[in-house]
């Protein structure tokens, strides 16, 4: 009873302590939520700076959420999942800095991230909670075991003291010798029994003794009070009323009587001590579990005198064991019903458990799996890297993850993402590895299809950009013809002059040499013009080199000089000194410059009053690199057209296709820069783009 009161008091104290710690738990959870926000912000900034693709960013977010699920609760993880989706949409899904989604594959990626994060977080938090409940149950069971050992130790010490009393106390040594009178023997026996009863009554346990034939003869006061035995009952005084050896089994639970009868019968037959557990009915009619240990008490000549027993209340221990079994059953049911493959290994990496889903996938029993191991099912191409990563984790104790193909029972290989975390004891020694393997075959196929689609899109963009260059060059036919004719006409003029100098008498060879040098110069000039035109028209792969922006601009300005003059446009340049070279494809960058300059010239062709001026400038900016500006004095841009100016197939020109500016923005963004337009006052427009170093 004292023990139960102590347990009740301990439970109340624990509840009060738990109630007092609720504010602390809320603060801790708020800290985990803040940690999650900081982690997502850090990953977002790093990925945005490195220009990481949307799928890779989603995977990085998923890793952060899985790590946070080991310590945080589900509500915080759900909030972080939605924040992650918003970050993916705003910062990484085109168009960036907008919540609009233009591409279906981006919507699929973000949906897959959200669903996967929900599933993984729910599973991990459930497993974590189950492990915590299991740890609490184990602690309670450990405490019960300690208390039980203490009680058993006290019982053994009491038994030893009893034996010492019986062996050393005068008048308590019992013998079956026939010497001496019957009266003296009865007197000694009476004193002996009284001493035994006195000792059993003061022991802090439920104690009793039985006659050599097995009949329960005496129970101490603690036991009698529990059973509700009347004050004048013979069992309280050790009076043998000649009952059957098994009459006391009526006090046991009906389900335990037969086993107890068989066990007690075996003790009587062998004369050896032992212990047995069963449920005993109390005075109130309820049953509690007890563990009874009985030992034979013999005389000096070995004759059996009494069976002495001590009984311990193990109700809380049995309940803890039952709770542990129920927790293990619930955990196993949870593991078996999870839509994932779960497994565990020992500290050395040897498998200790795989759930039924894995066995169904592999098509074998657990015993057969232990014989062959994972190596038989990992794709041969993935096995070396998977084995290296796993055994490195075993040696270092770091968490493990791998993406590999596993063979299914029908022979098909499917992609899986495997993760493993170590479970450590208080000394931080690894006692178990727990792993999760998720089927990502459809996701890998979608990623491969997306890569092919992106490749096809890149090829289509290259073809479209090439077509745009050719179309733009077609608009400059007159200007190109003039640029080519100029050096050719000059070369012909110098050739005629050379003939005249040769026909003179005497021939003026010095003038002839000067004329021939000028012919060579003009020929090279014509070749350079043709080379520039050919480079812009030729369809070549993208190649990034160090490009001098000023030189590239001057070449484009030279090609458009005649077009500008024909439209009455004066061209002014303002180039910054000491501009750094930028990394890019020279032809593509010149295509952007050509589009912007031609658009500016065409926009001013209809201006009747005022000057037609084209201002081209460059400036060095930190840390982006170089900024190029093209400003005109045309009619400018309307507020309605400005937001849609770079959309495909949107144009403000009657005969325009609406692809030039869209292609220009794609080229600049592919180089890591920006392209934008602003209105100028009182009229005109300014187009600017940046290119990093």
Ordered strands of the 400-407 beta sheet: 351-354, 341-345, 430-439, 413-424, 400-407
Q: How many domains does the chain have?
A: 5
- Specify the range with the lowest mean pLDDT, choosing from 63-67, 182-186, 418-422: 182-186
Which residues are CB-neighbours of 689 under 8 A, at least 6 positions away? 592, 627, 628, 664, 668, 673, 674, 675, 676
Domain enclosing residue 520, as ranges: 476-539
Whole-structure pTM value: 0.36
Mean pLDDT of the chain: 78
Specify the higher pLDDT residue, 415 or 70: 415
Helices (H) and strands (E) in the chain, counts: 18, 17
* Predicted local confidence at residue 439, as pLDDT: 87
Q: What is the Cβ-side half-sphere exposure of residue 609, based on CA atoms within 13 angstroms?
A: 1
Across 364-384, average pLDDT: 86
CA-CA distance, 311 to 254, in Å (whole number)?
19
Domain boundary among 505, 539, 573: 539
In a domain, 459, yes or no: no
139 and 6 both lie in a single domain: yes
Spell out the residues 6+ positions from residue 407 whose beta carbon is closer than 8 angstroms to its own.
Answer: 362, 376, 377, 378, 379, 413
DSSP assignment of 90-116, as one string? IIISSSSSSS----HHHHHHHHHHHHH
Residues 6 or more apart in contact with residue 370 via CB below 8 angstroms: 351
pLDDT at 162 over 70: no
pLDDT at 180: 44
Do the domain assignments include residue 161?
no
Residues 573 and 640 in one domain: yes
pLDDT score, position 261: 92
Q: What is the mean pLDDT of residues 243-247?
A: 85
Per-residue pLDDT of 251-294, as tens digits, reads 999 999 999 999 999 999 999 999 999 999 999 999 999 999 99
**Nearest-10 Cα torsion for 533, 535, 536, 538:** 110
Q: Are residues 654 and 523 in the same domain?
A: no
Same domain for 120 and 21? Answer: yes
Q: Are residue 661 and residue 570 in the same domain, yes or no?
A: yes
Residue 219: per-residue pLDDT: 92
Domain-terminating residue out of 518, 539, 560:
539
Total length of the chain: 693
What angle (nearest 5°) sits at the alpha carbon of residue 665, between those of residues 662 and 667? 110
pLDDT for the residue 17: 38
Query: What SS3 state is found at 217?
Result: strand
* pLDDT one-digit tens code per residue, 92-129: 888 888 888 877 777 888 888 888 877 777 777 777 77
Report whether 311 contacts 138 (CB < 8 A).
no
Enclosing H/E stretch for 413: strand 413-424
Supply the pLDDT for residue 630: 92
Residue 194 predicted with pLDDT over 90: no
pLDDT at residue 544 tops 80: no
Q: Are residues 268 and 361 in the same domain?
A: no
The DSSP element (H or E) to which 613 belongs, if any, is: strand 613-621
For residue 626, the SS3 value is strand
User: Cis (ω within 30 of 0) for the bond into 3?
Assistant: no
- Containing 498, the helix (H) or strand (E) segment is helix 477-503
The phi, psi pair for 365, rounded to 5°, reads -85, 165
Query: Quick check: is 107 in a domain?
Result: yes
Taking 3-state DSSP, the helix, strand and coil percentages for the chain, each rounded to the nearest 5, stand at 55, 20, 25
pLDDT at 660: 73
Cβ neighbours, 10 Å, residue 27:
10
Q: What is residue 605's predicted lDDT score, i.e. its pLDDT?
A: 80
Read off the pLDDT of residues 280-333 as tens digits, 9 standing for 90 and up: 999 999 999 999 999 998 888 888 888 999 899 999 988 888 888 888 778 777
Q: Does 424 score more than 70 pLDDT?
A: yes
229 with 282, same domain?
yes
Both 313 and 352 in one domain: the answer is no
For residue 518, the model assigns a pLDDT of 65
Say whether both 571 and 692 belong to one domain: yes
**Domain assignment present for 330:** no
Band of pLDDT at residue 184, cut at 50, 70 and 90 = low
pLDDT at 5: 38
d(CA 104, CA 108) in angstroms, rounded, equals 6
- By CB atoms closer than 10 A (0-12, 13-18, 19+), residue 669 is middle
CATH number for the domain spanning 522: value is 1.10.287
Cα gap 507→526, rounded to integer Å: 29
Q: 17 vs 148, which has greater pLDDT?
A: 148
Question: Is 60 a member of any domain?
Answer: yes
pLDDT for the residue 7: 35
686 with 557, same domain: the answer is yes
- 8 Å CB contact between 240 and 211: yes
Helix ranges (H only) for 363-440 are 366-372, 383-396
pLDDT, one tens digit per residue, over 21-57 is 456 667 777 887 788 788 888 988 888 888 888 788 8
The 3-state secondary structure of 501-517, one letter per residue: HHHCCCCCHHHHHHHHH
Give the residue from 320, 355, 386 where a domain finishes.
320
CB 341 within 8 A of CB 355: yes
- How large is the average pLDDT for residues 443-468? 68
Share of the chain above pLDDT 70, in %: 78
Q: For the domain that residue 635 is a member of, what is the CATH number?
A: 3.30.565.10
Which of 191-205, 216-230, 502-516: highest mean pLDDT? 216-230
Who has greater pLDDT, 630 or 536? 630
User: Measured between alpha carbons, how far is residue 675 from residues 20, 93, 626, 648 in Å?
Assistant: 59, 18, 12, 15
Instruction: Assess whether pLDDT exceeds 60 at residue 382.
Output: yes
Q: What is the CATH number of the domain that holds 248?
A: 3.30.450.20
Q: Which of 2-11, 209-218, 641-650 has the lowest mean pLDDT?
A: 2-11
Predicted confidence band of residue 486 (pLDDT cuts 50, 70, 90)? low
d(CA 219, CA 87): 75
* Residue 181: partners with Cβ closer than 8 Å, 6 or more residues away: none
**With 60 as the cut, is the pLDDT of residue 395 above it?**
yes
In this prediction, residue 103 carries a pLDDT of: 77
Same domain, 286 and 378: no
Q: Among 33-47, 242-256, 341-355, 657-671, whose mean pLDDT is lowest?
A: 657-671
> Any idea what the Cα angle at residue 513 is, between residues 510 and 517, rounded to 5°?
145
């Amino acid at each position: 009873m004292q023990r139960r009161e102590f347990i009740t008091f301990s439970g109340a104290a624990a509840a009060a302590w738990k109630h007092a710690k609720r504010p602390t738990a809320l603060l801790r959870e708020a800290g985990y939520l803040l940690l999650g926000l900081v982690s997502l912000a850090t990953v977002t900034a790093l990925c945005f700076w490195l220009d990481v693709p949307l799928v890779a960013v989603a995977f990085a977010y998923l890793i952060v959420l899985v790590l946070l699920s080991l310590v945080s609760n589900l509500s915080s993880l759900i909030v972080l999942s939605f924040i992650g989706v918003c970050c993916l949409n705003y910062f990484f899904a085109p168009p960036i800095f907008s919540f609009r989604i233009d591409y279906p594959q981006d919507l699929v990626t973000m949906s897959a991230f959200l669903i996967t994060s929900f599933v993984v977080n729910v599973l991990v938090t459930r497993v974590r909670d189950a492990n915590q409940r299991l740890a609490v149950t184990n602690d309670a069971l450990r405490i019960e075991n300690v208390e039980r050992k203490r009680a058993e130790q006290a019982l053994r010490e009491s038994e030893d003291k009893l034996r010492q009393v019986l062996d050393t106390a005068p008048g308590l040594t019992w013998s079956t010798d026939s010497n001496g009178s019957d009266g003296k023997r009865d007197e000694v026996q009476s004193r002996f029994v009284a001493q035994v009863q006195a000792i059993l009554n003061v022991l802090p346990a439920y104690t009793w003794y039985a006659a050599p034939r097995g009949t329960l003869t005496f129970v101490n006061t603690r036991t009698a009070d529990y059973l509700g035995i009347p004050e004048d009952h013979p069992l309280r005084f050790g009076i043998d009323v000649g009952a059957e050896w098994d009459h006391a089994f009526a006090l046991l639970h009906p389900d335990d009587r037969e086993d107890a009868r068989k066990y007690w019968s075996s003790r009587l037959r062998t004369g050896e001590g032992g212990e047995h557990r069963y449920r005993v009915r109390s005075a109130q009619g309820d049953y509690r579990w007890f563990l009874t240990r009985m030992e034979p008490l013999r005389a000096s000549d070995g004759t059996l005198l009494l069976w002495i027993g001590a009984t311990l209340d193990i109700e809380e221990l049995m309940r803890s064991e039952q709770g542990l079994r129920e927790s293990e059953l619930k955990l196993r049911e949870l593991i078996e019903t999870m839509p994932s493959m779960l497994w565990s290994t020992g500290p050395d990496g040897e498998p200790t458990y795989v759930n039924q889903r894995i066995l169904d996938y592999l098509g074998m029993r657990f015993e057969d799996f232990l014989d062959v191991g994972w190596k038989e099912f990992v794709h041969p191409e993935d096995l070396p890297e998977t084995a290296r990563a796993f055994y490195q984790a075993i040696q270092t104790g770091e968490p493990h993850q791998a993406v590999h193909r596993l063979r299914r029972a029908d022979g098909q290989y499917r992609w899986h993402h495997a993760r493993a975390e170590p479970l450590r004891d208080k000394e931080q020694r690894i006692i178990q590895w727990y792993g999760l393997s998720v089927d990502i075959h459809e996701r890998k196929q979608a990623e491969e299809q997306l890569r092919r689609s992106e490749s096809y899109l890149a090829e289509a963009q290259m073809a479209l950009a090439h077509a745009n260059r050719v179309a733009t060059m077609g608009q400059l036919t007159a200007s190109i013809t003039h640029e080519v004719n100029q050096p050719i006409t000059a070369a012909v003029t110098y050739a005629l002059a050379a003939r005249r100098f040769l026909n003179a008498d005497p021939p003026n060879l010095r003038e002839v040499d000067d004329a021939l040098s000028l012919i060579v110069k003009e020929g090279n000039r014509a070749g350079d013009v043709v080379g520039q035109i050919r480079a812009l028209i030729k369809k070549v792969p993208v190649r990034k080199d160090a490009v001098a922006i000023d030189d590239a601009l001057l070449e484009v300005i030279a090609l458009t000089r005649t077009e500008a003059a024909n439209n009455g446009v004066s061209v002014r340049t303002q180039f910054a000194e000491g501009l750094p070279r930028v990394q890019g494809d020279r032809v593509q960058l010149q295509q952007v410059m050509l589009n912007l300059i031609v658009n500016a010239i065409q926009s001013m062709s209809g201006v009747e009053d005022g000057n037609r001026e084209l201002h081209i400038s460059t400036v060095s900016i930190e840390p982006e690199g170089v900024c190029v500006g093209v400003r005109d004095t045309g009619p400018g841009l309307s507020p309605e057209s400005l937001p849609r100016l770079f959309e495909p197939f949107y144009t403000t020109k009657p005969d325009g296709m609406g692809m030039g500016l869209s292609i220009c923005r794609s080229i600049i963004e592919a180089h890591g820069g920006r392209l934008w337009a602003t209105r100028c006052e009182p009229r005109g427009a300014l187009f600017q783009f940046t290119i990093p170093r």
